[in-house]
Amino acid sequence: MSYSRVRIAARLRPAIPGEQHDKAIRVVRNDAGSSICVDNPRDPSQTFKYPFSSCYDEQSTQEEIFERDVQPLVELAFTGITVTVFAYGVTSSGKTHTMQGNKAQPGIIPRAVEDIFMRTASLHYQASIQVSYMEIYKDEVYDLLVDRDTAAKLPVRENEAGQVFVANLSMVPVDTLQDFDSIFARANKQRSVSSTNLNSVSSRSHAILTLHVSVVDPVHNMTLRGKLNLVDLAGSENNKHTGNDAARMAESAAINKSLSVLGQVVHALNSGASRIPYRNSKLTRILQDALGGSSVGLLICNLAPGTKFRQDTLNTLNFAVRTKNIQNKPVVNQQVNAIAGPSRSTIPPPAPSGRPSLLPNMIPGHTRLPAPRPSRVPRPSSIEVIDARSLLPPLEPVKVEPPPLPVHLTEEEINARIAKAVELEVARRLEEERARERQRREEEEAATASASRSASMQEDSHSQDSSLQSLPSGLLTPLLKSSRESHEDELKRRLDELEARFERANKNAVQLADVLSPISRKKTGRAYVALARSHSNKNNLEVALNLYRKAETYVPDNVKLKERIIEIEWAVKNNRPFNPSPKKPRRSGSQSRRERTKSGGRRKHRANSQYDAVEEEGENDASEKENTEARGKRRMKTEQAEMGTPPKKRRLVKAEE
Ligand SMILES: Nc1ncnc2c1ncn2[C@@H]1O[C@H](COP(=O)(O)OP(=O)(O)OP(=O)(O)O)[C@@H](O)[C@H]1O
């Protein structure tokens, strides 16, 4: 089964007139890759680092982003795959600029359309392009290709195959770039836009432009239907800054609510929840396919610069980190042609004439996508949704049969097709190998994690052998008979071996952390933290630092872990000893609850243990935020007394409070 993670790109816009310029948020590039660095709002001496494969700074151009991150995905639409690119970020962070741009700096949408037409022209197959464009305004869907004054609210429905669609949405065939430009320009005038203190042309709705690409392959007698969804989300708004009036406030509430549901969907997917709340907003319902569904996804995080936007930026980046873990399972949408031979009529027929038209046609020549009522849903025999791999020729033994020679294919094109098929098959086999490796690894991790937990319990009780009986036999059994020190060495050796084995099997820069499930990542992170803590207790600070950094690759959005790394870096750099927080003895559930209540509650308890923070990583955002705020308040209270003391000491002062 082949999975595709949602790709992430982050783009920092330049300061615009009237904004104060500072470096609170910046793009850093080094040998290890690129990251967005943000100063900790609570403690400027600390920096949060968010590594992403694509980070664009203030000088980046529209062309770079398109060529590096979007153009490779456009190609997929020609192979029957749905691709969704969405721009996410706080209001005024540059989403519309990135997606639409302007005449001088055209954005992703015009570039993608141009690219599609260029590809179409060079194809030897018949291809047709259609466009649909909708906006979600106050949780209602409107067609942007019909006259605004008469536009009705469109219902969101699901067909028998489980595909979500917007009923009665127009689809307009476009044959040239000029066709598209005039349709798009006219449609954009319909979009809900207003002026706020932060943006004179602030989008008040989420806009989804879809380019439907149909390619008819007469040789195989089928039509591939790919889609490119280009989504310009409305920005989250802090109404202290926007200065919104009552009407804008109502829009703002709807925008913030739908983005909050988007956050909940991402969180539920990440935590493996059995119910994903897609239905809680129209936005998530329509984007369902891009989040944990069958399309390939790219999230562009737009970031506004400077201290003023720092908290919003952290929220956006944390959302991105969570989204990065979502796995989609792309499928090829392929329809067997009813009549063999090339055909340009890949567009569904217009609604039956007896059906009352709800909306007038604004654009001449456009066809309305019929509402697929159950009786009109294509039978499974005529529309297939298939796993992309099944399109590959058989490869046992490795031998690729060239596809039948279409009259207009050149020798070079045939060779390219064969090479592509081989490449895909190799990728499939690699994926199978990885799946086997993953399974082996997860079994080993389960044993490793329980061993490290037991090791940590051993430390708590200062009893080295009382818990041996309760540890699992098997993988780690020989270690249990040795001393604790050698046990740790062995645990580290096994973790290293696990990564090395994975890297050997994957020479194409896929990291172990990238392929583990969220639970396995958390477990591995936890094992590294346990080892790191043990080394820091012995004052082997450099080793501990390395291990904490390793842990961070598995749980990158764990704030406590980032803080711990900064503290140890400080101690190493200043050649100072490092005193770990005193570890509390384990208590029974009820006793623990009683004590927590007396001593100021759960938040204080959590703040005391780095290990617990990793364990509890992934709890809901609200409690994370509460913790951060509570810590921030305590930090401010003690700031005066702590001047000149290292970060670790400050924490101890707080703990004593
Ligand atoms: N990379 C950039 N280079 C130059 N100007 C930019 C860039 N990104 C954004 N801007 C400018 O910043 C302002 C806000 O950008 P934009 O309207 O795209 O933000 P937005 O995120 O779409 O906001 P909203 O959510 O309120 O619609 C605009 O004036 C835009 O031209």
For residue 32, the CA-to-ligand 1 centroid distance in Å is: 30
pLDDT of residue 420: 64
**Is 242's C-beta closer than 6 angstroms to any atom of ligand 1?**
no
Paired with 385 in beta bridges are: 333
**Is 91's C-beta closer than 6 angstroms to any atom of ligand 1?**
yes
Digit-coded pLDDT (tens) for 331-380: 888 877 765 443 333 333 333 332 222 222 333 333 333 333 322 222 22
For ligand 1, atom 15, name the residue with the nearest CA: 94
**Is 199's C-beta closer than 6 angstroms to any atom of ligand 1?**
yes
CATH of the domain at 250: 3.40.850.10
Alpha-helical segments (H) within 135-271: 177-190, 239-242, 246-270
- Please tell me whether residues 451 and 583 are part of one structural domain: no
Domain membership of residue 380 (yes or no) is: no
Domain membership of residue 537 (yes or no) is: no
Atom of ligand 1 nearest to the CA of 201: 17
Could you tell which of 13, 25, 99 is best to mutate to test the pocket of ligand 1, judged by most ligand atoms within 8 Å of the CB? 13
Q: Which of 121, 101, 122 has its CA nearest to residue 110? A: 101
pLDDT of residue 588: 46
- Please tell me whether residues 565 and 491 are part of one structural domain: no
Digit-coded pLDDT (tens) for 129-179: 999 999 998 899 999 999 888 888 999 999 888 889 999 999 999 999 999
Atom of ligand 1 nearest to the CA of 193: 27
For residue 92, the CA-to-ligand 1 centroid distance in Å is: 5
End-to-end CA distance of the chain: 53
Paired with 336 in beta bridges are: 222
Domain membership of residue 247 (yes or no) is: yes
**Looking at per-residue confidence, does 290 or 488 come out higher?**
290
**Is 95's C-beta closer than 6 angstroms to any atom of ligand 1?**
yes
Domain membership of residue 36 (yes or no) is: yes
Domain membership of residue 357 (yes or no) is: no
**Is 330's C-beta closer than 6 angstroms to any atom of ligand 1?**
no
Domain membership of residue 358 (yes or no) is: no
Kindly state the DSSP code that residue 68 receives in the 8-state scheme: I
Atom of ligand 1 nearest to the CA of 58: 1
For residue 362, the CA-to-ligand 1 centroid distance in Å is: 29
Across the range 486-508, mean pLDDT stands at 60
Rounded-to-integer distance, Cα 105 and Cα 118, Å: 19
Among the candidates 453, 488, 516, a domain finishes at 516
For residue 238, the CA-to-ligand 1 centroid distance in Å is: 17
Among the candidates 290, 310, 336, a domain finishes at 336
Across the range 582-591, mean pLDDT stands at 47
Band of pLDDT at residue 404, cut at 50, 70 and 90: very low
Across the range 470-499, mean pLDDT stands at 49
For ligand 1, atom 8, name the residue with the nearest CA: 94
Band of pLDDT at residue 279, cut at 50, 70 and 90: very high
**Is 14's C-beta closer than 6 angstroms to any atom of ligand 1?**
yes
For residue 94, the CA-to-ligand 1 centroid distance in Å is: 3
Domain membership of residue 543 (yes or no) is: no
Rounded-to-integer distance, Cα 256 and Cα 266, Å: 15
- Please tell me whether residues 163 and 265 are part of one structural domain: yes
**Is 248's C-beta closer than 6 angstroms to any atom of ligand 1?**
no
Could you tell which of 66, 90, 193, 199 is best to mutate to test the pocket of ligand 1, judged by most ligand atoms within 8 Å of the CB? 199
pLDDT of residue 456: 54
Is 91 marked within a binding site?
yes
Atom of ligand 1 nearest to the CA of 198: 26
- Give Cβ neighbours of residue 369 (< 8 Å, ≥ 6 apart): 132, 165, 168, 169, 170, 171, 348
Q: Which of 239-243, 274-278, 535-539, 628-632 has the highest mean pLDDT?
A: 274-278
Domain membership of residue 544 (yes or no) is: no
Do you find a cis peptide bond into 397, omega within 30 degrees of 0? yes
Please give the radius of gyration of the chain, using alpha carbons only, rounded to the nearest integer. 28
Among the candidates 316, 336, 356, a domain finishes at 336
- Please tell me whether residues 471 and 568 are part of one structural domain: no
58 with 64: CB under 8 angstroms? no
- Please tell me whether residues 273 and 421 are part of one structural domain: no
Is 94 marked within a binding site?
yes
**Is 202's C-beta closer than 6 angstroms to any atom of ligand 1?**
yes
Atom of ligand 1 nearest to the CA of 200: 29
**Looking at per-residue confidence, does 169 or 189 come out higher?**
169
Which H or E element spans position 132?
strand 126-137
| φ, ψ (nearest 5 deg) of residue 386 | -120, 155
Could you tell which of 56, 97, 105 is best to mutate to test the pocket of ligand 1, judged by most ligand atoms within 8 Å of the CB? 97
pLDDT of residue 651: 45
For residue 95, the CA-to-ligand 1 centroid distance in Å is: 6
- Please tell me whether residues 81 and 200 are part of one structural domain: yes
pLDDT of residue 240: 60
- Give Cβ neighbours of residue 442 (< 8 Å, ≥ 6 apart): 516, 517, 520
pLDDT of residue 261: 92
Rounded-to-integer distance, Cα 65 and Cα 121, Å: 24
**Is 105's C-beta closer than 6 angstroms to any atom of ligand 1?**
no
Could you tell which of 57, 64, 92 is best to mutate to test the pocket of ligand 1, judged by most ligand atoms within 8 Å of the CB? 92
Atom of ligand 1 nearest to the CA of 89: 21
Band of pLDDT at residue 585, cut at 50, 70 and 90: very low
Digit-coded pLDDT (tens) for 301-326: 999 998 888 988 999 999 999 888 88
**Looking at per-residue confidence, does 612 or 438 come out higher?**
438
pLDDT of residue 365: 35
Is this complex's ipTM strictly greater than 0.90?
yes
How far apart, in Å, are the Cα atoms of 164 and each of 157, 284, 480? 6, 11, 54
**Is 468's C-beta closer than 6 angstroms to any atom of ligand 1?**
no
Q: Which of 564, 559, 563, 562 has its CA nearest to residue 618? A: 559
The residue range of the domain holding 624 is 555-657
- 398, amino acid identity: V
Reduced to 3 states, what is the DSSP secondary structure of residue 578?
A: coil
Is 517 marked within a binding site?
no
pLDDT of residue 200: 61
- Please tell me whether residues 309 and 404 are part of one structural domain: no
For ligand 1, atom 10, name the residue with the nearest CA: 94
pLDDT of residue 428: 67
Is 90 marked within a binding site?
yes
- Please tell me whether residues 591 and 491 are part of one structural domain: no
Alpha-helical segments (H) within 462-556: 477-480, 484-505, 512-515, 518-537, 541-554
Residue 171 is encoded by which pair of tokens?
């689809």
- Please tell me whether residues 77 and 212 are part of one structural domain: yes
Digit-coded pLDDT (tens) for 11-31: 999 998 877 778 889 999 988
- Please tell me whether residues 441 and 496 are part of one structural domain: yes
**Is 102's C-beta closer than 6 angstroms to any atom of ligand 1?**
no
Say how many domains are in the chain: 3
- Give Cβ neighbours of residue 619 (< 8 Å, ≥ 6 apart): none
- Please tell me whether residues 295 and 400 are part of one structural domain: no
**Is 191's C-beta closer than 6 angstroms to any atom of ligand 1?**
no
Mean pLDDT of the chain: 71
**Is 201's C-beta closer than 6 angstroms to any atom of ligand 1?**
yes
Is 96 marked within a binding site?
yes
- Please tell me whether residues 77 and 221 are part of one structural domain: yes
Digit-coded pLDDT (tens) for 260-270: 899 899 888 87
Atom of ligand 1 nearest to the CA of 100: 18
